[in-house]
Structure 1
Amino acid sequence: MSEAQRAEAERRRKVRKGTHSCWECRRRKIRCQYGPASDTVCLPCQARGSACRSQEFVDESRPQQAPDRRMAQRLGRLEDLMARLVDRILPDASPSGKPRPSYSHSHSHSPGRSDRASPTPSQDTVADGGAGYNNHALDVLEASVGEETPVGLLLGLRNIGSTSHQSAQTAMLTPESDKTDSTSPAASNPPRYDKTCRALHALFPSQNDVDVITGSSAGPFFLVSLFFAFRDLMQGTAPPASRISVIPPITCHPTVLARQLLQLCICMQQLPPGFDTQKLQKQSTTQAYMASVVTSVTSLVTSNDDLIGTAEGLESLVLQGLWHSNAGNLRKAWLSYRRALSLGQLMGIDAGSSRGLKHVDPSTSPEQRSTPENLWFRINCFERFSSLLLGLPAGSPDNSFATEDAMKRNTQMERLERIHTVIAGRMIERNANKTNQAYAITQSIDCDLGDAATKMGHEWWTQEELDPSEGSEQKLGQMLRLMMQVHHFDLLILLHLPYMLRGPSETRYDYSKATCTRSSREVLRRFIPFRMMINSAWSCRHIDYSALVAAMTLLLSYLRQHEAPSEPTPSCAQRAEDRKLVELVRERMQHVALLNQDKLSKESANVLGQMMPILDSIDISLAGGISEYNGNALKRLHLDIPYLGTINIHPSMTIPAVNLCPSEKMTDDLHGDALSVQAESAAMMLQQLQTPVTVEATMQMSGGNAAAAAGGLAGGDTMHMDFGSLDPALLPPDVSVNGMFMQFEPQPQDGELEFPDLMAEANDWVFQGVDTTYWSLLNGNTMGWGG
């Protein structure tokens, strides 16, 4: 082969099979056709007189372009940036223990803005047009890695020139196990969350304070069991209690930081009143710190719709409601629970779906995350009990969490808690509808409560002695059992309360009267040892509400127990025992109020103090002293409820209708006015509470003129009239004592006490509307409830 042929062969190019077009036709994008007479020059090239050269050979008609050195430099810079990114993400050593090979020689030192590219281009490169390489305004790659861009944040370019921030930027993408502290924004979070994360992280106290708080409180054990079943705790599929004391890094999602802050606040609520605050480094009081944290979390996270849509956000709403409930802010707690319930429905957890439940806490393994079923139950449990106390409707009628399939992994006590949640929903529905079948519904609910109590066994209901020397976990088990028992009896009281003060002739309600009395004693007997063991007013606040309801019910139950001759009169020994029990509860409330400066405990003790004379009047009545006119016995007992009005408890006497027969107009007024009068002030804003004529309709008289103040005709034969304020000379000769009755006088609109804001906290509005719900249920006979 000659040199010319050898050179020609070397210049041949490999082309795709079936390629026959020439370079000129390819550039013109036309079809290359050859005639039958010639197969060396195509027809288009013959027509134009141009050179026809096959693509097998290099096209020498066009000058060769110099290599794009600028592009080569940019690709080199890109490789260098990728090597730096790999250095940040991957550990320094491979799994075998050998050092990982370097991808670039330029990342061995701390790179700056001037030296993070490939080696400086040569003079030839600049002469060939590479001078534009250093023009950052025209460099697209340079713009894509600016400080404010996602890539720039990922690579840690923000404030990279500052020495004080280099360590934080280096730790930005390190594994969670290597993070001890950080002051930089979350690299995995969008930039808009940086300020939120910084503000939340700044709220954490020092690690020493966190360890002291969690070590002195039973809160961590309670919080861990809140969203998990007991079996999960035993099998280790729930996070340990020690996780509460670990401050999450600033790189976490805002809902993770918010959840941890709320958990810490709940632990602080359960600190004993005698806790030595000198152990803590923080300067402010625990109450001021908790209020500041909850306010910040509410404004930054739980009220932000863009942030709250995670599993951790859902838990934060429940924890926020729990904190408000323990603080006595029942209305704010109800709002948090209702918001969590609505968010859970949007996520689909009511149907057991986990597809919409997004977890953003990387420190928790998948098997230790809360499930949709447990979250949905806990939300409904808290929301329904709050709604029952406030007289509000339940947020969801769903009871899927209490089916046999859903409870197959639960213990007997967990099953009882879920049944209580279902029953609370049924009671709310009964209270709202007020149908003629209300008492039948009451009997059905009572039967279900009895069945649930029977399944627990007799020994479980015995009141065991509490041992203060036991550990936190054992003490928590005793407390949970005691709280469950109190909750059970509290449900029985609220269930039968509308029928407790029915007339003595209505014997079918005797069971309701006996149940209210018996359940009240059971609650009070458990309240005393509970508050002796747990004397922090901000811990388990619902126990205080239950004790107040039980003590008031026990005292009011004496109003009719001596009226009917066929009904056995309570013995003096029983009254003395009940008096002593209520006195002990009142003293314990005063003690808790003094230790914690708690307004709710103080006001509860005051209310019971105002009601204690009921027993004195009963003793006088049974002794016969009230049969003769006795000014002291006929003196009214006034129960002043802030923002609600005055409850007057006083003797009332029965007069035959033939002696005092009102005119037809007065009868119309009694029916038209008294029965339509509704309590204003708090009752008007909380719920439409009809004027409680209490047990039977009453009528007030002044001298010889009669005016209907509140009440109506109790029957066709007789009417009941209040003579507590009459001159004894005006009393008819044939009057007889019928018992003691109550009368409600609502607070006037222009009274001295201005109605508080609906979202007022416990210091401004102590009872939060629980008092209105109680008196409304007690006077259930005026609500149209029938048998």
Structure 2
Amino acid sequence: MPPSSAELMDPASHPVLLAKKMLLFCSFLQSGVDRIHGLAEEPGAIINRLVEAVSTLVTTNEKLHGTMECLECIIYESVFHKTNGNLRKAWQVVRRALLVAQMMGIHRSLPPPVKNIDPSCKTEPHFVWFRILYLDRYLCLLLGLPQGTPHTEMPPDSVLASDGPLDKLGRLQAVIASRIIDRNEKGLQANDLNLTQEIDAELIRVGSTMPENFWISPRFVGVEVGSEDEFWAMARVSAQMFYFNLVTQLHLPYLLLFDPDTKYDYSRIATMSASRELLTRFLASHHFRSAGACHRALGFLALLASMALLLGHFDSRLHPKITSVFAHQRRSDRAMIECMLQAAEDVRGSEGKLLDEKNEQALRRLLLVEEDFSKGRNYTVRIRSGPAVEDEDTDGGAEGKGCKSIGIPIPHFSHITIECRQVASKDQQEHQFDPLSGPISLMPDFDTDMDQFLVLDSPDFPSEALAATQTQIFGTAPFVPRLQGVNVGDTSLREGGLPDEILGIDNWTS
């Protein structure tokens, strides 16, 4: 709810307290409640001006650091940018919060006394530290960046006992996210599933800490927009979506192997099921607030889930005897993705946008390509590390005559390019690996702006852009991909390894 006149602060109040109130007001405006009348400016203009003032005068002012209220302001600013879809900025701000918190000593098991501007402030330092870790790992997982501080041990029961259900789940999810990030940083080996299976078992145990009815997809029946009930319902949806995103992030690399080996079946099914569950919850929340808040961070999770589903159906067509069970859910999966795209259209024109227009176009094109592929057309798939390269667009579509391609950014796993191709002989298909492949960089590149990232209907990448490229053929011929003995120096899809390149969702943001 907006602050009442009795809650408005004296302009002579401490600047940190004023900043905190300003950020909370921005959060309210950002929620999309459309029953505010009499504003002199559009809510977006007010929000941007207030956040800019807080950032310039308070959260980046080291002279004001050192109090719990200032630390809260830094966290609120990061959450604002996350909700607004500026994930890189949110990550930069939460890293500032992490450093300030460490200087205050609240990361220690026995933290020193903290300073408060307002004597009535009763914020628990351990809880604030947990929120910083949760936000940092949430963003690092999406951006493909290393976490700010390694801590993969489950919190003690004494800490969990004092938490509410959602906070308890959040602490456990933060630990799982830390382990997934750590796995990705060390480099994942395709022939070593032990660590992934161990994390998966831990994730299942985390899910079992919540009552069964918690996992029902919320229906928002009887929930009023802008009410406290809505706040908790949305918090529940967000926690559920993050859980299923963890499952997807954990198992997606094995789906991207496009390997018929049955030892990867569990990861295929887990990725597809989790993506489906995530989309279901996203659509439930959108239908409740179709004209309301634009939470772009959740939109990115839905975009990733949609792409994972479509790539899973590509994979299932490669070896239908193994994963033909997905055929029964293909149409409903596509329908959910169409609904997600419609949700993005519903939001467009309001204060924000759920997805960038190019991302919408890319997902729509991927739907067309997947449908085209299911009807028997052959496609070449390249998984490439390094920054995306934008070439001139060519004419094309699902029925185009020219070379039609689509570029897909997948967090942690580089850039996937799908191109239609003429039917080749079996011998040609078995040797369609790019000769220009090279070693894969272990460091991410985030200089690419989102508007320059997606490659839609482009010709072949120039040779200098094809470093660390692996080509895989999708088609109706009786061809099973052979992942061993590929290019010299290329380990991106070899039987013994997965792509180490980390290229994150921040390339999808404006």
Deviations for 1:347-386, whole angstroms, at most 9, x for unmatched residues?
1101144535200114x2xxx5101111100111111111
SS at match of 1:639: strand
1:310 to 67, 74, 77: 67
Q: CA deviation at 1:421?
A: 0.6
Q: Distance in 2 between matches of 1:320 and 1:713?
A: 39
Q: CA deviation at 1:403?
A: 2.0
2:336 to 570, 581, 586: 581
- 1:675 aligned to 2:404? no
Match of 2:420 in 1: 650
Match of 1:160 in 2: none
Match of 2:500 in 1: 783
Match of 1:444 in 2: 198
> Counterpart amino acid of 1:345?
Q
Q: Judging changes above 3 Å, is the alpha-carbon distance between structure 1 residues 511 and 651 closer, same or farther for their aligned structure 2 residues? A: farther
> Counterpart amino acid of 2:303?
L
2:238 to 483, 503, 522: 483
Q: Distance in 1 between matches of 2:500 and 2:404?
A: 25
After TM superposition, the structure 1 stretch with the greater mean CA deviation from structure 2, 293-302 or 456-465, is 456-465
2:138 to 365, 371, 385: 385
Contiguous gaps of at least 5 residues in structure 1:
1-213, 216-241, 688-699, 701-706, 715-719, 725-734, 742-774
Higher gyration radius (CA): 1
Q: CA deviation at 1:591?
A: 0.7
- 1:358 aligned to 2:115? yes
Q: CA deviation at 1:431?
A: 1.0
Match of 1:415 in 2: 168
- 1:495 aligned to 2:250? yes
2:50 to 267, 290, 293: 293
TM-score w.r.t. the length of structure 1 is 0.52
Q: Distance in 1 between matches of 2:238 and 2:351?
A: 21
Deviations for 1:428-447, whole angstroms, at most 9, x for unmatched residues?
11111105486322111111
Match of 2:297 in 1: 542
Q: CA deviation at 1:510?
A: 0.8
Q: Distance in 2 between matches of 1:243 and 1:373?
A: 31
- 1:376 aligned to 2:143? no
- 1:266 aligned to 2:7? no
- 1:247 aligned to 2:8? yes
Q: Judging changes above 3 Å, is the alpha-carbon distance between structure 1 residues 581 and 740 closer, same or farther for their aligned structure 2 residues? A: farther
Q: CA deviation at 1:527?
A: 1.0
Q: CA deviation at 1:331?
A: 1.2
Q: Judging changes above 3 Å, is the alpha-carbon distance between structure 1 residues 303 and 500 closer, same or farther for their aligned structure 2 residues? A: same
- 1:329 aligned to 2:67? no
> Counterpart amino acid of 1:458?
E
SS at match of 1:263: helix
Q: Distance in 1 between matches of 2:480 and 2:431?
A: 22
Q: Distance in 1 between matches of 2:60 and 2:209?
A: 42
**Contact 1:653–1:723 under 8 Å retained in 2:** no
Match of 2:18 in 1: 257
Q: Judging changes above 3 Å, is the alpha-carbon distance between structure 1 residues 616 and 679 closer, same or farther for their aligned structure 2 residues? A: farther
Q: CA deviation at 1:390?
A: 0.9
Q: Distance in 2 between matches of 1:289 and 1:326?
A: 16
Q: CA deviation at 1:503?
A: 3.7
Q: Judging changes above 3 Å, is the alpha-carbon distance between structure 1 residues 578 and 342 closer, same or farther for their aligned structure 2 residues? A: same
SS at match of 1:598: coil
Q: Judging changes above 3 Å, is the alpha-carbon distance between structure 1 residues 651 and 445 closer, same or farther for their aligned structure 2 residues? A: farther
**Contact 2:51–2:77 under 8 Å retained in 1:** yes
**Contact 2:220–2:233 under 8 Å retained in 1:** yes
- 1:430 aligned to 2:183? yes
> Counterpart amino acid of 2:23?
L
**Contact 2:429–2:473 under 8 Å retained in 1:** no
Q: CA deviation at 1:575?
A: 1.9
- 1:515 aligned to 2:270? yes
Q: CA deviation at 1:679?
A: 12
**Contact 1:592–1:598 under 8 Å retained in 2:** yes
Match of 2:365 in 1: 610
Q: Distance in 1 between matches of 2:297 and 2:285?
A: 12
Counterparts of residues 205-224 of structure 1 (less than 5 Å): 214-215=1-2
**Contact 2:440–2:499 under 8 Å retained in 1:** no
Q: Judging changes above 3 Å, is the alpha-carbon distance between structure 1 residues 454 and 660 closer, same or farther for their aligned structure 2 residues? A: closer
1:553 to 285, 308, 315: 308
Q: Distance in 2 between matches of 1:533 and 1:295?
A: 31
Contiguous gaps of at least 5 residues in structure 2:
380-397, 450-459, 483-491, 503-510
- 1:638 aligned to 2:393? no
Deviations for 1:554-606, whole angstroms, at most 9, x for unmatched residues?
11111120222531424654222112111111111111123445263544432
Q: Distance in 1 between matches of 2:27 and 2:257?
A: 42
Match of 1:342 in 2: 99
> Counterpart amino acid of 2:21?
Q
Q: Judging changes above 3 Å, is the alpha-carbon distance between structure 1 residues 435 and 646 closer, same or farther for their aligned structure 2 residues? A: closer
Q: CA deviation at 1:468?
A: 5.1
- Superposed CA RMSD in Å reads 4.0
Q: Judging changes above 3 Å, is the alpha-carbon distance between structure 1 residues 292 and 438 closer, same or farther for their aligned structure 2 residues? A: farther
> Counterpart amino acid of 1:531?
H
> Counterpart amino acid of 1:452?
V
Q: Distance in 2 between matches of 1:581 and 1:488?
A: 19
Deviations for 1:436-481, whole angstroms, at most 9, x for unmatched residues?
4863221111111111112323322122421254471222222222
After TM superposition, the structure 1 stretch with the greater mean CA deviation from structure 2, 644-653 or 552-561, is 644-653
